[in-house]
Chains A and B, each alone.
Chain A
């Protein structure tokens, strides 16, 4: 980033190539929409570029970038009120499938069911999951990105896992009925 601040476009390209896919996927796991996720990631990189002269390496660059992505995701979701992305019809369908996995398997792939289950989580749980489970951040890094304590992050993850276990109970092996 220090090279970028000095006008090194090549350095910014390297940063972009390395982090853009991760930024996109954090937004994608949080918002559930690939196009919006790319918009959010692009906006994050634009803001990083605009702030390059003010950048101080007080934290890892990835933490700095992901924090912008997280804030943009939350702002976006708040603005369009899309945090509960599933329609009532989707929820009914999911609930009915819950008792008939065989029938469900005919209609939907597990990936889609997992996506729906994740998108039904509250936003903070979803973000915690996106950072730790999907982007493999440590608890400490994820907590720093989200601006919460490690304990609070663990609590979010704990509840996310419990919720997912309930939602996916019928589709997952090692679960009774």
Chain B
């Protein structure tokens, strides 16, 4: 009688219907006495049966599409593989990258230049606070604190 290891090899081929009569007889003889290998065959068979759950694809294209493709190739257009699937995706990606680049360059070129921050002095801050409106008061407070920082920085 064959060993379990040999039975495993036969089991794998058995589920593909690839055993000859003599191999089938050897496997059956082994499995009659080996529960583990019986279980193994059932498990592999169930796995293979499950594969049928993934349905096949029904083609959408026909001979007319092929005829067009042949005409295109005769006119010197590149083949479908080069033309359709890789390059169409690369074209989209390339177009997106180009658009991004153009956007960045245009943004840089058309961006208004940042106005220079007026130099803040303690006197200007006091004048702003003295002006009295709430808006001026807030501006003045900000200006004053900036002026203080500037002074501190200068004194270090």
Contacts and interface: CB of A to CB of B under 8 A. Distances in A.
Interface of A: 13, 16-17, 20-21, 24-25, 28-29, 34-43, 45-47, 49-50, 72, 75-76, 79-80, 109-115, 118, 129, 132-134, 138-139, 154, 157-158, 161, 164-165, 168, 171-175
A175 B40 CA distance: 9
- Which applies to chain B's interface (DSSP): helix, strand, loop or mixed? helix
Given A46-B79, A72-B81, A175-B43, A28 B56 contact: yes
Interface residues of B, number: 39
Interface of B: 9, 12-13, 15-16, 18, 39, 42-51, 53-61, 63, 65-66, 69-70, 73, 79-81, 84-86, 89
Contacts of B44: 161, 165
- Which applies to chain A's interface (DSSP): helix, strand, loop or mixed? helix
Given A39-B85, A41-B59, A161-B15, A168 B73 contact: no
Contact of A133 (B16, B84, B85): B16
Contacts of A112: 54
Contact of B57 (A34, A46, A158, A161): A34
